[in-house]
Structure 1
Amino acid sequence: MDDTSGLPREPRVAGPRAAAELLQADRPRARAARRLRLRDASVVLDRLAELAARLVGAPIAQISLLDDVEVVVAGTGLPPGTVGREGPLDATACAVPAAEGAPVVVPDVHAEPRAAELPQVRAGLVGAYLGVPLVDTAGHTVGVLCVAAPTPRPWSDDDLATLRQLAAAAVSELELAALRAEYESDRVRWGLAVDAAGIGTFDWDLHTGELTWDARLIEMFGYAGGDFGGTIDDFNARLHPDDLPRVTDALQASIASCGDYEAEYRVVWPTGDTRWVQARGRTLADENGAATRVLGAAYDTTAERAAGMRVTRVLEAMPAGFYSLDREWRFTHVNAEAERLLGRSRDELLGQELWTAFPAAVNSAFEESYRTAVRTGTPVHFDAHYPAPLDGWYELRAWPSPEGLSVYFLEVTERRRVQDRAERAAQRLALLAQVSAELAGALDAQTATAHLPRLVVPALADWCIVTVVDPDGRPRDVGHWHAVPSSRALVERYAAVRLDAMPATAPLMRALLTGEPVVERSGAVRAVLAEGEAGDLLAALDPESAISLPLRGRDRTLGVMTLYFRRGWTPRDEDLATAQDVADRAGLALDNARLYGQQRALAEGLQRSLLTEPPEPDHAEIAVRYLPAAEAARVGGDWYDAFLQPGGATMLVIGDVVGHDTEAAAAMGQLRALLRGIATYSDAGPGEVLRGLDASMAVLQTRVLATATVARFEQTDDERRRGVTRMRWANAGHLPPLVINPDGSVAELATWRGDLLLGVDPGALREESVVTLDRGATVLLFTDGLIERRDADLDAGMARLREALRELAGRPLRELLDEVLHRLVDGRPEDDVALVAVRLHPQDVPRPSEAGPNRIPDVVPEEPDL
């Protein structure tokens, strides 16, 4: 297995069983993994697994947590029932990267001895594996994100970098989900604590005398069924005789003043049991100030008195902070957790006004929400940030009461941090995915690189300029963008003049020279430029700092991406890491384009070196064209040839060796040379030349297949006087020639019959066909790359070619061939294209000037039979 650099190293563990033993011995790591275990995989994790599979081009992706067992929490391409399944650690490949704490790269599991014991490998389900450990914020390895393929395949550095980014996002999502579960559990416990307080309510209408109690209060006073009559007498009947006068006085005082009512008293049940009740209320008045009703609440304090203030103990034991405020916003109770979260003791806070103790709460979400709850009488629930010295985020629930406001709260700073980190990680992944898509989908890497500033601004910088190095070594600015539309014209002009004004010691030049990032701190950005237009433009743009990131290829720096930051913008470390990742991907794309161009030029040069200029016999004009495939890797065996035989006859050849690689190109050169030698020595006809070539291939053991058409143009003295020429031709499985008659019609050689391909049977007979041509006719021989399409058959391609030839019949020969290539393949054929054509000019007039000079070998007769 390989480490993160892709270079072989000595593995730290011997196999999955040894890795399982190491993992099971690490109890803190197991507890950290167990904390993140979810009952069901989240949608985000499933999408991360799908994104991992799509970005690296693997059919299988899986996210696993490893504590005492492996738990698959998300995945794609897995058998049904895999997600949520538990399995032993010694039966999973994920144990190895988890135990080593480093990525594991296995292009071929069959070549990896440690993989032989795994059931997935023995069953033939996995042929290649790439796994990255999931490390939580405490540094524990809690699981693994992996991708796999059923057959061996290589894994690139980009695949590894992509999986690392996705692993960070997966850990963030797992931690966020665990925090959410913890906080939800806490909220349920708050609700249970409130219910446990056992509060009942009452409403006494002073006009009608009706007294309304809720079920809890009826139960509190020992009434059952319909025993409660709904009058103040029912209330007085249950009061302890010693408490009745005091409670009655408190009620009368509240009614008389339309003020608050508070009392603690004993209730005597019919069974003789005595309960303590604490009651609070308020008398409401009408528009004339007369008392109309008394509203309030009561709760049973018997248990509190017996057990030492039970509610206080509940509040003290709560995992959430709690404090209560009276109607003057003074603290009346503060529990232990609130003391810890607020950084103040209860002795400091009790009796102090909230707005004085915490002045930053004034005119904030805290004040707005608290006053809304008191004004409307409804609970509120919100998140808010309190600045230093607390400097934290809090989740709060506030319940209004007649006494004031009760507040339950939790510090959620960590949850917000994890959530923000997850969101930033998702944004970075989206940006990198978009950059990769732009670079991979563009035909011209420089054009795609020029578009990078629009992708990274404003996500990573205020504005950006991208520079590439031309083949002659000169830097050139190719792309720029500013987040502010009004500043884009300034950036455009600055990019046009800055390189000429930039000294060799400028950060951009240093980044090009060293291949390392160069940072320009505050005030140093403008110092590198002398006075002039470039300096004035940079002063107008007014960046505070900048960083020049090299676009690095495999062995050279191919450009620089310069990010500029406005005043007050301090880039985060993860943003700079993302920017460097973008720059590295752009550099690799430029390097691939460079290597692609070199490969294409080499392949095309090899192909063209095997093809020679045609002769120009008297009154016959020959033109040739060769166009390589758009993909450099598809160099193949297409060839053309034109030469004179010893007797003076003109011979044209078109051929295609089966295959598309350098071996096919080499075989093409060998067959072309053999055919030339046979034809120019023997003066044989087309059929005999092909038969001799087939025999030579068998003797020389040239184990290739090829198609070919050989056409010879002959003319007797009588035919010369009549102005006609015979074309004798033979075909070895190739497309037939097309003839453009002098009247512009295209002749379809309906009587032709193709013989076997070359290389199939050296003893096969080769037949010849003969057609008589008028002077002025044009014959075209071509390979199938001219008419072949992925989305259409050859018949459709032949129809397009015939139509084009009819429209172009009157054009000069070379112009005709160029236009045919433009119309049928638009300069980018899917396969190599070779063309050879001859135009038979009239012999009773001088050779036309467009046919060029008359060029024939010295050994050929001066008056050849054409």
Structure 2
Amino acid sequence: MTDQLQSGPWLAPGEPVDLGNCEREPIHVPGSIQPRGVLLAVSEPDMVVRQVSRNLADVVGVAWDAALGRPLAEVLGVVPAQAVARSASAFGDLRERNPVELIVDCDGTPCPVDAILHRAAHSPETVGLPLADTGPPVGGLPAATPSSTLVIELEPAYGPRPFSFPNTYQAVRGTISELNRATSLQELYDITAEAVRTMTGFDRVMVYRYDPDYNGEVVAEAKAPELNSFLGLHYPASDIPAQARALYEKNWIRLISDVTYTPAPLEPVDLPATGRPLDLTYSTLRSVSPIHCEYLQNMGVRASMSISLLRDDRLWGLIACHHYSGPHAPPYATRAAAEFLGSTLSLRLVDRAEDEEHRRALQVRSTMAWLTAAALDEDRPLAETLLGRPGLLDVVPADSLVVSLQGNTGTAGVPLPADVVTALAEWAAGQGHDVVSTDRLPLVAPQLGVPADLACGVLALPLPEGQFVLWTRAEQVHSVDWGGDPHNKAIAEREGDTIRLSPRRSFDRWREVVRNRSEPWSPAQLAETGDLRANLLEALYARSRRVARAAVTLQRSLLSEPPHADHLGFAVRYVPAAREAQVGGDWYDVFQQPDGSTMLVIGDVVGHDTEAAACMGQLRGLLRGIAYDSAEGPAAVLGRLDRAIDGLQLRTVATVLVARLEQTGEESERGVTRLRWSNAGHPPPVVLAPDGQVQVLSGHRPELLLGVQAGAARSDHVATVERGSTVLLYTDGLVERRDQVFDVGVERLVAELAAVGSGDVEGLVDELLGRLLPERNEDDVALIAVRLAPQR
């Protein structure tokens, strides 16, 4: 339900109101007033009466129907009308000049009255909206416009006026001084309640504070000695519907001098200038909901007054005044002085809350600044930094804190079982929000089965790669004393042939034990954890960059330059994928064996991260150690490497092609070199002959990748390569794309290699890469090109 007055859906005119539909009652346009005074709606600037209350004769001695369409001076008299006109035409806020003290002639008897003025502007765009909300405001109320209506409310001034509105400050000066000296919120509440009761004469005055759900609590009380106390009682939000709270935010004081009053209707029903009911948002005589009057009568209240307490223009609470012995109508100036006290209390509450929030925010910002600086120390685990003192429990107090970052998990506060931590982290990650919070976990996620005494409140920051920060608060079991059972809000009464829902009649103290709730996370804490998440992401990024730089350095060091050989020319390349961390599992290696043969190795560890790069380094070292002085063929080398991976539990999978260039004296005389290779799931070698012909050395049964099955069968394959040829070994990043299958990629490689020709081997490789790789390659590419020197 919205807490702003909107265009509906309101109840239709004449539709009966009961507790089942009262939230749709258009209380800002009731079409009637309380009869303690009278109302006249006057057009401007001609000052002609356009709408009046039916009880007009009770105050001014003129029948309502005789007043309509007549100049104001003919209804009130020339002098009172001139006084009203002067006040209405003066610059500034009308409220600053209220009340206008008048003497009207009532059947020959001079009658003092207080005239309270405000304007209700209207335009075609305001259909269904409070008219007093339209037009540019002056001091909180609309200024006069060519299409505005001046609303005049006249209240009889019985007895001496206690003080005039301009002197209100003098009347409350002592109380203001007391408020200034108050050292606690409770003192502020108590001083205000006593002062309002002394000033207005109500039997009971309460300071009534709302929680975030608009349930109210009586936090201070001043009362007649014989009355029972309401202090500490709570009242459900349904007792004051949203549209009533919206009116309290606009018109800060409301008096019901007699809850048994009979409303005085406005005539005509609709204001002629608009064709709609007159908006009474800012009216002091506005008729109130009959449901509310019935509610007060059920409480034994005969008169009531409410003063709004605001923070940031939103309703924070009320000063609620009750009278039991009969009707009670404090004069307007007295009510204005009480309203002034309410405004002063609001300001003091805001000042104190802002002071406390400012001090807390300074402390949190100081802690956050320290943590941000400490996070730059990359020699200390980030989780350890956040769990220290000062740490995250100083940013957001909680019972337990769990931090899981960069492979390190730590806790502070009350330890949580590992399965509970896992369940909470997974639940938070599944919510899809940067900051996840609840103060009632058993109610919102019962499927988790987390005991409330461990984690009833959860505040979590899900982070990339399963990392997280998690605060928890235990259940906070507490009792709430309600003014009547909040779950029994209505009673059913038979009225003729119908059943009507009406307000409850029991207001006896009713105690409820609240469970499955923790101390709530404050809006400031939620905002601060959002800032913390951004800082953590920056710290993780900086640290991951450092790790990536170290991995790149390691990878480059392992991808060594090939040896120098008179009969061979080499070109090697490593092109990382266009991604943030430029490391992966692709590698090449070229080295000579003691017998003069040249070993060529090209491989690709599954994965594209620092772990893949580390595995690549392990495999490269193992393979070198196995193959360096081995007279066995490449298949035997791969078999031994497979067994080493299994025996050392390296838990890695890779494609690898090991080739050996062998040359006997006979082959040298014939101008050829023998190429012997074994392939563990890797793309096949490609040979560019001196005449430009390209051959893919495939057609053999593919064999298992390394690390899949220790002892898998490995085969050697042999081909003779003409001197002057170029042998090309490469990883799949050269020929595979998301939009290009492997076979098509190999066909393109063959075509481009033939087009490049057999020039300088370094230039050939660069030209080939330029033709085959996109601007941002998707995968790492490693490549070895070996040019066999032509026969002399």
Q: Given the two structures, how large is their TM-score scaled by the length of structure 2?
A: 0.39
Which has the larger share of helix? 1
Q: Given the two structures, how large is their TM-score scaled by the length of structure 1?
A: 0.36
